[in-house]
């Protein structure tokens, strides 16, 4: 059988030409990709997104928390709780029977009216000032003493062997058990209350500081030593930054405990030096209870919750200032 043979020049010409229109399509596709890429690059260069930092970021987070689904659900829960509280406490006036246990509580409307009456007096704000000052002084001394003490035990095995046993013996003692000795030891009741609030935060701060220091990854210590860091530089660059999150947690927890302790200390000591006109929020609660003013008791309890919440926010803000990497996360 004879096979048809194509001339060599004709085959070469067909190979060079290829499929008709293929080169044009490839060129068009390449130009399209290149144009789209240049357009995107041009847009990114012409309109860069400015980073949102500082107060603008905080305002955005606050707006999102208040207007988002979580904020709406929280507001709905608060409104539902207040409405249920109002119905339960006023049911005996509307229908007749009283709800057991909670029916004797004052209604939210009565609490609001009593709040307006107390706000107009100077003793209410004096109680706020005294309790807030006692908490802040005791908490500040607890931080000043507890953080170095905890870091000493965290970084020195000898110091921990010597100091941790007596510390563990004193730690389980409730701060309120120190009130009688504090009243006898300190010359004024104001110093006694401040000392008891100091104990409330001291043990928590020390325990969190020791725990944070002991949980540092040893590889960071070895890496710092291999790069020639001395003890002070290692402490400042490795140990302290790694311990700060635990210290911040202990500070927040300790702040809550100081408010619990200061209220009890004011109850036992009779308000310290403030007297009945303004012996602190804890004394306001106790004095109102003895006088049968239950609405004022509820006002004092709500005031304590608000004061504790404000204090915790201040502690968290101060903690974020010492840990700038959290603001970048």
- Domain residue limits at 316: 121-328
In a domain, 82, yes or no: yes
131 and 89 in a common domain: no
240-269 helix and 294-322 helix, angle to the nearest 10 degrees: 160
Domain end (from 54, 85, 114):
114
Give, in order, the Cα–Cα distances in Å from 311 to each of 119, 255, 317: 20, 7, 10
- Tell me the average confidence (pLDDT) per consecutive run of 10 residues in the chain, 329 residues long: 47 46 50 52 47 62 71 83 85 73 81 91 88 92 94 90 94 88 86 90 94 86 84 84 91 92 79 57 88 90 92 89 71
Spatial contact of 131 and 262, defined as CB atoms under 8 Å apart: yes
In a domain, 30, yes or no: no
pLDDT at 222: 84
- Token pair in block for residue 253: 């927890």
110 and 129 in a common domain: no
308 and 170 in a common domain: yes
Distance CA 181, CA 199 (A): 13
250 and 234 in a common domain: yes
pLDDT at 43: 47
125 and 89 in a common domain: no
291 and 180 in a common domain: yes
pTM beyond cutoff 0.95: no
Distance CA 80, CA 108 (A): 12
pLDDT at 249: 92
85 and 181 in a common domain: no
Distance CA 192, CA 237 (A): 38
pLDDT at 53: 53
pLDDT at 29: 52
Distance CA 155, CA 33 (A): 60
Contacts of 298 (CB under 8 A, 6+ apart): 105, 106, 111, 114
Domain count across the chain: 2
158 and 307 in a common domain: yes
170 and 91 in a common domain: no
- Token pair in block for residue 53: 């930092």
240 and 163 in a common domain: yes
In a domain, 319, yes or no: yes
In this structure, what DSSP letter does residue 238 have?
I
86 and 165 in a common domain: no
């Amino acid at each position: 059988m004879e096979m048809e043979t194509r001339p060599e020049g004709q085959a070469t010409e067909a190979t060079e030409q290829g499929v008709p229109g293929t080169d044009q399509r490839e060129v068009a596709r390449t130009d399209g990709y290149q144009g789209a890429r240049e357009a995107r690059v041009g847009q990114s260069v012409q309109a860069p997104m400015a980073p949102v930092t500082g107060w603008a970021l905080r305002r955005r987070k606050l707006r999102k928390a208040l207007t988002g689904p979580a904020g709406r659900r929280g507001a709905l829960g608060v409104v539902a709780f207040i409405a249920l509280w109002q119905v339960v406490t006023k049911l005996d006036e509307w229908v007749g029977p009283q709800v057991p246990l909670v029916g004797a509580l004052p209604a939210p409307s009565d609490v609001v009216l009593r709040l307006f009456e107390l706000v107009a007096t100077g003793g209410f704000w004096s109680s706020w000032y005294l309790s807030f000052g006692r908490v802040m002084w005791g908490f500040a001394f607890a931080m000043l003493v507890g953080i170095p003490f905890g870091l000493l035990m965290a970084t020195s095995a000898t110091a921990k062997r010597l100091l941790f046993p007596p510390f563990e013996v004193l730690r389980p003692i409730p701060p309120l058990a120190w009130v009688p000795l504090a009243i006898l030891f300190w010359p004024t009741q104001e110093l006694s209350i401040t000392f008891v609030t100091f104990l409330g935060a001291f043990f928590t701060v020390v325990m969190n500081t020791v725990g944070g220091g002991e949980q540092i990854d040893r590889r960071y210590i070895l890496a710092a030593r291999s790069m020639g860091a001395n003890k002070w530089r290692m402490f400042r660059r490795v140990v302290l930054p790694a311990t700060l999150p635990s210290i911040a947690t202990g500070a927040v927890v300790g702040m809550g405990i100081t408010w619990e302790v200061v209220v009890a200390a004011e109850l036992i000591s009779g308000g310290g030096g403030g007297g009945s006109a303004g012996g602190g929020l804890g004394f306001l609660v106790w004095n109102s209870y003895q006088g049968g003013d239950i609405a004022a008791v509820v006002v004092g309890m709500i005031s304590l919750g608000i004061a504790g919440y404000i204090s915790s926010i201040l502690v968290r803000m101060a903690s974020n200032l010492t840990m700038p990497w959290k603001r970048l996360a």
